[in-house]
């Protein structure tokens, strides 16, 4: 397979109409929908110590669940080598995720290795990590020292009973808040707080969460519950549209829309009219943002996925372990990105029933959220 892709890419790049990737001045790529490759999300483990009902429900992720064996995982050296190849094609942001990334042993070492890489234009990477914060208070300082720039923390409720119902392992809100405070103190900000809103589970927490974080340095973002993977039993009627989230908050704490920080940002931004800071809404179900999607995902075992909702990936680990050169790996990446036409969420909007039947969508804990 890899052989075929390399040959195909070489044939293509030999044709006069398509410049070879080595001739591309900045190494920047564009896919079938003219989207650049800008953001690489790396899943460093498929394991987690939470069992969030919308992500790793206990009924599926039980004691018999087969996680990947350690030998399947990419080593830190392999991750860094692939990251360098992605960066050569224009990646400027790397997010470490999972599963719970802070469960990966010596994660600080990987952060240190990635922090040394520079973008094509010579700037430092935007190096960040998404975490449930269970180990954040303990690790924040060493992550900062290793070169991590910022963190995003998931928190689905400010009410302890509701939060514990969401994480399903009795983890306390107070401990997440402590992790956030320590991360902020050591300089891992600006910190974003991600809340997945699942209708009937935690939507009554929209206002309490907004009240809690208003006027703090933290940016709260509400995420529409998505049909990722095949185990969360997703139903459209459990999605609370972002427009409803904004309506509820605006009624009590007036909001106004503000522009995006950058093209392809997942969140639409709103600020409090009274100067109390900003919130974001991530409307991947009701207002899909595929048209600007510049995100590639590297799974725990080294497969490249060009969409969060893909059912298969491309085995980059095999290339590494077969002893391929950086030039060959780079050629494969270029070929795969140029062939990319994914826009699952946009298609879902127009055909929910049909897409629900897509088989074997990968789990978010495996591909990285």
Ligand X SMILES: C[S@@+](CC[C@H](N)C(=O)[O-])C[C@H]1O[C@@H](n2cnc3c(N)ncnc32)[C@H](O)[C@@H]1O
Binding residue positions for [4Fe-4S] cluster: 48, 52, 55, 290, 293, 307
- Comparing C-alpha atoms, which of 133, 138, 140, 183 is closest to residue 154? 133
How many whole angstroms separate alpha carbon 265 and alpha carbon 263? 6
* Total site size for ligand GTP, rule CB under 6 A: 17
Q: Which is nearer to ligand GTP, 21 or 285 (CB)?
A: 285
Provide CB contacts within 8 A for 325, sequence distance 6+.
none
Residues 179, 283, 196, 365: what is their CA dihedral angle, to the nearest 10 degrees? -80
90, 110 in Cβ contact below 8 A? no
> Is residue 135 within the footprint of ligand SF4 (CB under 6 A)?
no
Cβ at position 270, least distance to ligand SF4 in Å:
20
Per CB under 6 A, contacts with ligand X among 84-103 are 97-98, 100
- Tell me which stretch binds ligand X (CB under 6 A): 23-31, 85-93, 219-227, 257-265: 219-227
Range in contact with ligand X (rule: CB under 6 A) among 58-66, 72-80, 218-226, 320-328: 218-226
The answer to whether 297 touches 43, Cβ cutoff 8 Å, is yes
| Closer residue to ligand GTP, CB minimum distance, 167 or 331 | 167
Of 66, 156, 89, 82, the C-alpha closest to 114 is 82
From CA 160, how far away is CA 158, in angstroms rounded?
Answer: 6
Judged by CB under 6 A, which of 79, 88, 173, 308 binds ligand SF4?
Answer: 308
- Check residue 130 for interaction with ligand X (CB under 6 A): yes
CA neighbor of 70 nearest in space, from 90, 48, 45: 45
Choose the one of ligand SF4, ligand GTP, ligand X, none that binds residue 198, judging by a C-beta under 5 to 8 angstroms depending on kind: none
- Beta strand 255-258 with 268-272 is antiparallel
* Interface stretch with ligand SF4, choices 7-15, 68-76, 301-309, 349-357 (CB under 6 A): 301-309
Considering only the stretches 63-71, 114-122, 128-136, 316-324, report the one whose residues sit in contact with ligand X under the rule CB under 6 A: 128-136
What does the binding site for ligand X look like in residue numbers (CB under 6 A)?
48, 54-55, 97-98, 100, 130-132, 154, 194, 196, 223, 225-226, 228, 232, 364-365, 369
- Site residues for ligand GTP per CB under 6 A: 95, 130, 152, 192, 194, 223, 226, 265-267, 282, 284, 293, 295, 308, 345, 369
């Amino acid at each position: 397979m890899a052989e075929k892709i390399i040959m195909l890419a070489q044939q293509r790049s030999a044709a006069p109409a398509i410049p070879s990737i080595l001739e591309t001045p900045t190494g920047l790529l564009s896919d079938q929908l003219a989207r650049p490759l800008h953001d690489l999300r790396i899943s460093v483990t498929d394991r987690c110590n939470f069992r969030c009902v919308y992500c790793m429900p206990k009924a599926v992720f039980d004691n018999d669940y087969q996680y990947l064996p350690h030998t399947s995982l990419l080593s830190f050296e392999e991750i860094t080598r692939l990251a360098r190849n992605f960066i050569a094609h224009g990646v400027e942001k790397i997010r470490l995720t999972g599963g719970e990334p802070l469960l990966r042993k010596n994660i600080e070492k990987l952060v240190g290795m990635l922090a040394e890489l520079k973008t094509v234009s010579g700037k430092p990477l935007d190096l960040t990590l998404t975490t449930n914060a269970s180990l954040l208070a303990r690790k924040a300082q060493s992550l900062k020292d290793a070169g991590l720039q910022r963190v995003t923390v998931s928190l689905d409720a400010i009410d302890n009973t509701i939060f514990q119902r969401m994480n399903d392992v009795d983890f306390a809100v107070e401990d997440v808040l402590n992790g956030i405070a320590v991360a902020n103190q050591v300089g891992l900000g600006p910190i974003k707080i991600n809340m997945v809103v699942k209708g009937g589970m935690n939507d009554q927490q929209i206002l309490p969460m907004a009240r809690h974080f208003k006027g703090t340095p933290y940016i709260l973002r509400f995420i529409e519950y998505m049909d990722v993977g095949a185990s969360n039993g997703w139903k459209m009627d459990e999605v609370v549209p972002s427009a409803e989230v904004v309506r509820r908050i605006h009624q009590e704490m007036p909001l106004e829309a503000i522009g995006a920080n950058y093209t392809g940002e997942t969140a639409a931004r709103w600020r409090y009219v009274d100067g109390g800071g900003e919130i974001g809404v991530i409307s991947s179900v009701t207002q899909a943002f595929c048209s600007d999607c510049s995100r590639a995902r590297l799974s725990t075992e080294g497969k490249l996925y060009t969409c969060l909702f893909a059912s298969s990936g491309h085995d980059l680990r095999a290339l590494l372990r077969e002893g391929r050169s950086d030039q060959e790996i780079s050629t494969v990446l270029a070929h795969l990105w140029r062939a990319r036409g994914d826009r699952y969420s946009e298609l879902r909007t127009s055909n929910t029933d049909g897409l629900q039947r897509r088989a074997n969508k990968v789990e978010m804990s495996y591909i990285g959220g």
